[in-house]
Amino acid sequence: MDWLERMNRALEYIEDNLETEIDYKKIAQAATCSEYHFPRMFSALSGISLSEYIRRRRLTLAAFELQKSNIRILDLAIKYGYDSADSFSRAFQKTLGLKPSDARNKGTQLKAFPKISFQISIKGDTEMEYRIEDLDFELRIIGTGKPVKTSKAFKTIPTLWNNAKKDGYMQRLIDMSWENPKCTLESLLGVCGKEAAIMDEEFTYFMGIRYDGDVPSNMECITISHSTWAVIPNIVEAWKRLYSDWLPTSGYELANFPCIECYYPPKHKPRHELWVPVVPK
């Protein structure tokens, strides 16, 4: 399958650059994916974070070198991206369970974290709810956009909503929303960039609501003209399973429109959903 080939290309890039600086944007490009979405997809498929995988692979190679050469620990630290021998030693001991100096001893038992490769496996013991929504109108969303560094989006976006709650912006959106319901997409909305595949180092996270009235002076308006959406409940779980479970076998692929995080009003079930723009393959 094409998505497996792309994921394995990304892993080859990582493997080829363990001894040099790794560009996270190039990893995502190798997978023909966005820098924003790739870490989610990798974590969902592998069970560990991308940064932790790279750390484990580098320290595994470092352990091999300690046993077969007389390289200085400082030189080894610099080679694998650490600023000092102390920071390297701490990471080495935390990950492999012993000090780098002890790894030189013959007969010492070491841990090795092998290279990951993605293959097709038979799964399906956990069901995944979703539905397809077709919108026959243009989405007109008002709100404000916030710049988000792609590599830090997972931490930044929840903070943006927390701040919006504290400063009253969220309540202002709530007061304006749900006045003239037009579809099930009536909620607080987080529009992720300009398209589902975010390839830039920074994107705009647009926090707003669907609204047909006049645009307030301190807000902006964006429009999204796309009809077919895959809607998956539970935003956190949806991001985890979108690439690993749903997209590969769905018969759809991502459209060139942004994904939308939807946070519904009280008593709505589910509490939130991820709307993913799709087109048939």
Rounded Cα gap, residues 127 and 130, in angstroms: 10
Look at strands 259-263 and 228-233 and give their pairing.
Answer: unpaired
DSSP 132: E
- pLDDT tens-digit profile, the chain (281 residues): 466 788 889 999 999 999 998 998 899 888 887 777 788 778 777 778 888 999 999 999 998 888 888 899 999 999 999 999 999 999 999 988 889 988 888 667 777 888 887 765 545 556 778 888 898 888 999 999 999 987 788 889 999 999 999 999 998 888 887 655 555 567 899 999 888 767 677 899 999 998 888 898 899 999 999 999 999 999 888 887 787 778 777 778 888 899 999 998 877 888 899 999 998 87
The CB density around residue 257, as the number of other CB atoms within 10 Å, is 22
Rounded Cα gap, residues 248 and 253, in angstroms: 8
pLDDT at residue 119 in the model: 65
Q: What is the DSSP string of 237-275?
A: HHHHHIIIIIHHHHSEEE-SS-EEEEEPPTT-SSSEEEE
Structural domains of the chain in order of their starting residue, each with its CATH number: 2-103 (1.10.10.60), 131-280 (3.20.80.10)
The single-letter code of the amino acid at 199 is: M
pLDDT at residue 7 in the model: 84
pLDDT at residue 250 in the model: 79
pLDDT at residue 209 in the model: 93
pLDDT at residue 110 in the model: 76
Q: Are 188 and 263 in contact (CB under 8 A)?
A: yes
Rounded Cα gap, residues 122 and 118, in angstroms: 13
